[in-house]
A and B are shown apart, each in its own frame.
Chain A
């Protein structure tokens, strides 16, 4: 059943990517994205209804955490696919062949990573997401985007190489006499205390550094502001709502093995540490940040920190972390897509020169503001409830200091980010709008729909979804 689902989920995007790359010059090429995204979203919806069992001797399976990650990525990709239609129309001079091909390849890779249950396969696919995103960052073809691409490639490739070493360590921990000798996640978890604990510990350290780099956790986040700043807004949405979540999923998988081997407390305290550090670093670098896309990048560092913190706290906070993964992914979609609109309308992302976005872009401006309110945890948007779940998890576990630090950092970030966002949105635009860069249905519609989804999840979460958060958190619960 799951094997059959790979047809629309992985093979169709790959075939469409090949088609996009093969055909030299075609006006209909961006439409391929709509086909791929539509098929993918439909297949994911079918997965929700059918919940197929594992396939390919257990290498691929759909568990709660994977389904959540996959669904978020699929939703953000669908919104992005519509957005790209309007985006590419404003840049008819740029060759979109590699752009469209890479986007579709990225969709296939994200899907594979969400389903992979063999840690080796998971690594191979996550490295592919790095390679598929590199050309997307360089889409503007200028010196700055080239610099961002190089940093992204080097930092993420090195990080991911360390994650491979960690993966091998984990395999080695299972190689002793009586060990399962495997990289299959269920077998590793079932082996439990038959794994060699010092090697599990060493493995987690390398996996945290490796996948933490890919996720953009401090202190491994060096690539993030550059890549998010220079890449098209649509890629920011896909990185923040897809690729970084995939890396988070990989860390969750590693944590669940640690948990089974009896090293859960070690893994969780490490996650807690980098989580708080990421929030702190984000708060510091947001102060006086004059590039609004980089501002969003630091917001992404912050929220990846919140995810790590939630899993690090364990218990109810871990379920909150999975809820927050979905919420953050969708809200970042709103923010990056509208930021792209504002960037194009003003021709700059310098916050000193962007004023009155609400007037010049009557949809994107207010949406950017609402997205900011949502992502910083204002009710009634969904991130408020997931951030609150993590807070109550911390309080319930008696972690008063962690809860206090978490609240203080959230408040600080709300103020620093808010002062920048309000300056952009409010006031009178200084120069008249550049013709042809106003809000149109294809560029303003997708972020509007994403915001409505974030609002809906804040007002009502279906019982089935809540159960899914709990099931995902059960993997890493302390």
Chain B
């Protein structure tokens, strides 16, 4: 089991870097969706501390919820928004692809160092979990600040949420299902609202370039 879990974590980090490297929006959306679907496996793979029947139901619910929201609904909504708003497909980076990959790799290294410095209250934890979570959060933040397209910025936000989700799986032993469901629903609603705003941006500016959103400044 630990072997497969480790593989999932490595795959998540590889997908992070792949999003940074992708020059096509549709491809990037699909990569983030795939990452979300892979993450949905985690609640099933990680050993639950007290595996009662109640826990099993909880874990399966979390996995299914994450798969539906992160793997299907959100990417579906974003692809729909791209089609409806007739968005051009290029990513248009502010920071080039190679520099962003270098920064991404540096972030991954920093995440591993930082996690090594923190003691783990729960020793049965998989050693790759915390660094994977932090790497994904870092990649997401990097994507938001280094891409012009509004859609790419939303992808960055989704990566951040994916990273936080990885960490949240760690807590599913005692995290109430209500809170987990609330977090997923919030994410869905946030992406929906962002999709609507993207639609308006496209209508207003005839482009999704956030570089044009620079009239407000001091």
Contact = CB atoms under 8 A, between A and B. Distances in A.
22 contacts: A121-B179, A131-B190, A138-B197, A144-B216, A146-B201, A148-B216, A153-B194, A161-B161, A164-B164, A168-B164, A168-B168, A168-B170, A171-B174, A172-B122, A175-B122, A175-B171, A175-B174, A177-B121, A179-B121, A181-B174, A183-B175, A225-B216
B78 interface: no
A226 B186 contact: no
B178 interface: yes
Nearest to A288: B218
A162 B157 CA distance: 10
Contacts of B133: 165
B186 A127 contact: yes
Contacts of B47: none
Interface residues of B, number: 46
B150 A150 contact: yes
A97 to B, nearest CB: 14
A120 B216 contact: no
Given A134-B193, A165-B137, A172 B183 contact: no
Nearest to A144: B215
B114 to A, nearest CB: 9
A229 B216 CA distance: 9
Contacts of B205: 143
Chain A, interface residues (CB within 8 Å), range: 35 or more
Nearest to B174: A181
Contacts of B183: 120, 123-124, 164
Contacts of B190: 127, 130-131, 153, 157
Nearest to B160: A161
A175 B121 contact: yes
Contacts of A168: 164, 167-168, 170-171
Contacts of B210: 150
Task: Enumerate the 3 nearest inter-chain pairs by beta-carbon distance, A residue then B residue, closest first.
Answer: A176-B121, A120-B179, A124-B182
B122 A176 contact: yes
B175 A161 contact: no
Contacts of B215: 143-144, 147
A198 interface: yes
* Max chain A C-beta neighbours (<10 A), residue from B118, B185, B218: B218
B153 interface: yes
A150 B168 contact: no
A202 interface: yes
Given A168-B167, A171-B175, A154 B118 contact: no
B173 interface: yes
B16 to A, nearest CB: 15
A172 B164 CA distance: 13
Given A118-B176, A121-B178, A165 B164 contact: yes
A176 B122 CA distance: 5
Contacts of B214: 147
Most B CB within 10 A of own CB, among A124, A157, A175, A179: A157
B121 A124 contact: no
Contacts of B122: 172, 175-176
B141 interface: yes
Interface in B181-200: 182-183, 185-186, 189-190, 193-194, 197, 200
Contacts of A120: 175-176, 179, 182-183
Contact of A157 (B137, B157, B176, B182): B157
Given A144-B215, A154-B153, A199 B121 contact: yes
A127 B179 CA distance: 12
B148 to A, nearest CB: 12
Interface in A230-285: 230, 285
A306 B58 CA distance: 43
B98 interface: no
Interface in B116-140: 117-119, 121-122, 133, 137
Interface string A115-155: 00010110110011011001100100011101111110110
A179 B137 CA distance: 27
B213 interface: yes
B167 A165 contact: yes
B56 to A, nearest CB: 18
B63 interface: no
Interface string A345-371: 000000000000000000000000000
Contacts of B170: 168, 172, 175
A294 interface: yes
A182 B174 contact: yes
A177 B125 CA distance: 13
A146 to B, nearest CB: 5
A4 to B, nearest CB: 21
B218 A294 contact: yes
B91 interface: no
Contacts of A130: 190
B119 to A, nearest CB: 6
Contact of A181 (B164, B168, B173): B173
Max chain B Cβ within 10 angstroms of own Cβ: one of A120, A134, A162, A169: A120
A44 B164 CA distance: 35
Contacts of B200: 138, 146
A233 B216 CA distance: 17
B53 interface: no
Contacts of B156: 158
Nearest to B145: A158
